[in-house]
Amino acid sequence: MNQIIFFEEIGDGDLNLVGGKGFNLGKIFQARLPVPNGFCISTAAYKTFWGDNKNSEIMAKLKTVNLENVSDISKQIRDNFVSKEMDQELENQIVAALAIFPASTRFAIRSSATAEDLKHASFAGQQDTYLNISGIDNILYAIKSCWASLYTDRSILYRNQHNIAHDQVFMAVVVQQMINSDSAGIMFTADPVTGNRKYISIDAGFGLGESLASGTILPDIYKYNKKLSKIKSKHIAVKKTAVISDTHIGTTEVELDVNQSIMTVLDDNTIEQLALLGLKLEQMYDAPQDIEWCIDAGKIFILQTRSITSLFPIPTSTTSDLEVFLSLNHIQMMTNPISPLGQDSIRLLFRTEDIPLAEYNPRFLANAAGRLYINISPFLTHKLGQKILPAIINNVDANLGTAIKQLVQSKHDKIKSNLNLNPFKKQFKPVLFQSIKNFITQDTSNIVEKIDFLVEQQVVELNKLYSITGTHKDKLEFIYGQSIFLKSAIQNILSEVIPGIVAMKLLTKMEFKLLGSSMYISEISKGLEGNITTLLGLWIGDLADLVRANSHLIDLLSDTDYDSLFERVNNLGDDYTEFRTSFNNFMAKYGSRAAGEIDIAVKRWADNPKFIAKSILSLVETGISGEHRKNFLATVQHAHTMEKAFIEVIRMQHGSRKAKRATKLIKIFRDCMPLREHHKFLITHYLKHNRRLYLEIADAFVAAGRIDNREDIFYLGFWELYAAVQNEEVFQDLVATRKNEYEYFGRLKPPSLMTSDGEIITAKQNMEQFPKDALPGMAVSSGVVEGFARVITDPADAKVEVGEILVAPFTDPGWTILFINAAGLVMEIGGLLTHGTVVAREYGLPAVVGVEDATTLIKTGQRIRVNADLGYVEILSQ
């Protein structure tokens, strides 16, 4: 069997034979782009060689590979490769292929793995390349070394990280004419740092590209503006060395003379020619490309191209002008991808008018890599919006608010939009007017009880409404019809919350203006009574108190058969009536919640009570009976003490009139702010009912063989599902494709703010006010605390010991239980009014949010200091 495939012979179905690099080279060679000729040694040759020579004992060690032993295991596998003889038939085929080239030809021998340079995975720099090779023995050795490089340390670890099976990746080898280049480099058809798709970035050095790949020189960097078709900037580096072809074999490094070291590598004409080639490749692959190129005697050659898989996709734009996108995921404190049905469920929540199902399309919501983005461009085209929006968002995410403000300052004149703000104005005006009226005239004394009653009524009404029967089409039309059910209730809740937010802002300004401090309001904002999420945590503490002294209840919750937990609780005898009643009431009220609850695909606590059972047991183990209530009461009492002190200081220094105003504002603030979480609590009940109906449809689809598992239904969008219930289409292939996509999406870090050019906008931090090496953030709940860090990225099986400082990417109500033992809080995302901030204040925990990469920079067990008076975190010990 012929195991040699020349570039001109590579077909569309040959990816698994020639690997990613070989496949791309064949594609662009056949497109008549300037690619040095060559051929691929197919993966069939690798499989034969590997099958004849693999050491199963060594390969078994890959199952237990880790950072400590990976180098040793890698060396054993690679040594085994190169020590074996190649099959004579394959060697004869390679010799015959080489004979087509002139005898003096030197070759570049490059690895080409089947999982390499693909749409969602780039193995750039992980396998080996051998340059300037001649002579059959040297070429054969280089080929075997390329095969062996499939098991370098970095390749093994990368495949483990991305869940790619080692025995499902095979290696082809590219044998290509060597270009003895004068200059070489890398071209990115999107800015690799900012993500901006408008610019091409070219790195260039003298000699071969090896010096850039190995990082031994500082390259010249040229930026080219695609839209304007002109060079944007040049950075000419001092290039002290270059890698060139050795006179015998391989490469050698030489020093450049002073004059050449400061010369520009590329002239303007060459930069433009390279940029045009880059644009052709980007258009060919319909994706930004990472391209290796070289130049010999003025002629440009393309050595390879691959998609830039690290770039975050751009949300769908509504115009060709510059638009700005704000991450709804960040606002909701959940940066993981949201399922297709989860995204559409959120879209339905934004429906405010009676629009036919087939016509509804909220254009201001765009998808990118499984995340939802709000097109905020129409707000930023107006001066009022430019001022108000950053202030509002600052309450949700401090860094995000700052980033929007800085973006407006630099690009406000370039932002355009064709989206209509009238629907938003129509919905927001009644809320705004009612909020103003409530702030001025309303007695807020019983506002929590009033809204609690409203929410309970809505929950009861939802329970009645969702007793629907009928066809699958009927159920989906019912879900669509009910998507505006909560509109009035949510507007009522928000019109009570906004006065609390306004009062908080006015109090903060008043304290700073009259007293020159920010101490009092930070303390007064703690221990707010009536927050529905804080009560959740306290209730869990109460359940733990009931369990703590009872070994039978401990055993009941320790049983990992969580599917039977509700049945086992209800089968408890009369001696356990108090626990049974409390547990069932808790689940009836809060069973619709979960970490990441905005995604309807996420199982609720009522679906899987594992988290609740483990949380109760964690508090049984670490807590003291009644302590959680005592601590919360102490926080409330301290807040009231500070409230009185603040009013008295103002009275003494500025008179009774201002003290009276402060008293009123504090009352509005403390009465209204506990309602901050009520609207989301109501939404989770709405989603719970919709989830049940979707799963009823899913069970029918499974029975009909249209999907394999009931949870697969969430990989279909709402409108796809609506069409599906009216036909007999099967979805196994679509579900499999989307599962692969979502695995890739999960590896991408979503930006909180980006433009339609793909540029990621981040806030510029002022570090001068902080100690050296401090991690800057925003102080949201005052105090200074030192303790051991507990870094948690998934609350499912996590626990916090008493006195530890919780470090998290974000939190939502599903995390609340972890706050009970915590001594402080650090979050990557957050603002003054986000879940973690509110709960931290109500538990009296010092908290700093907006600490970029906190869960990466801080490790569990490190001693850290959280300075929530000034807004930074220090790592005190390693």
Residues designated catalytic: 835
- Residues contacting 756, CB < 8 A, separation 6+: 314, 315, 317, 321, 322, 323, 324, 325
Q: Which two tokens stand for residue 176?
A: 């290509």
**φ, ψ of residue 20 in degrees (nearest 5):** -65, -45
As a whole number of angstroms, the distance between CA 143 and CA 26 comes to: 19
- Residues contacting 741, CB < 8 A, separation 6+: 120, 370
- Residues contacting 563, CB < 8 A, separation 6+: none
**φ, ψ of residue 299 in degrees (nearest 5):** -100, 130
**φ, ψ of residue 263 in degrees (nearest 5):** -75, 150
**φ, ψ of residue 761 in degrees (nearest 5):** -100, 120
As a whole number of angstroms, the distance between CA 354 and CA 265 comes to: 62
578 alpha-carbon distance from chain centroid = 42
Strand-pairing partners, residue 760, are: 754
Distances (CA, A) of 354 to 288, 359, 679: 41, 10, 22
Q: Which two tokens stand for residue 484?
A: 């505006």
Identity of residue 847: A
Q: Which two tokens stand for residue 65?
A: 């590979």
Strand-pairing partners, residue 806, are: 790, 825
In this structure, are residues 318 and 419 in contact, taking their beta carbons and an 8 Å threshold? Answer: yes
Identity of residue 364: F
In this structure, are residues 805 and 790 in contact, taking their beta carbons and an 8 Å threshold? Answer: yes
**Dihedral of the CA atoms 491, 495, 498, 500 (nearest 10)?**
-130
Q: How many CB atoms lie within 10 A of CB 259?
A: 7
- DSSP letter for each residue of 770-833: S-TT-EE-EEEE--EEEEEEEE-S--TT----TTPEEEES---GGGGGGGTT-SEEEESS--TT
Q: Which two tokens stand for residue 840?
A: 């931290």
Nearest residue to 62 via CA among 131, 165, 191, 187: 165
613 alpha-carbon distance from chain centroid = 28
Q: Which two tokens stand for residue 119?
A: 């749409």
Angle in degrees, CA 857, 862, 864, rounded to 5 = 80
Angle in degrees, CA 624, 630, 632, rounded to 5 = 115
As a whole number of angstroms, the distance between CA 383 and CA 379 comes to: 8
As a whole number of angstroms, the distance between CA 452 and CA 532 comes to: 9
In this structure, are residues 3 and 100 in contact, taking their beta carbons and an 8 Å threshold? Answer: no
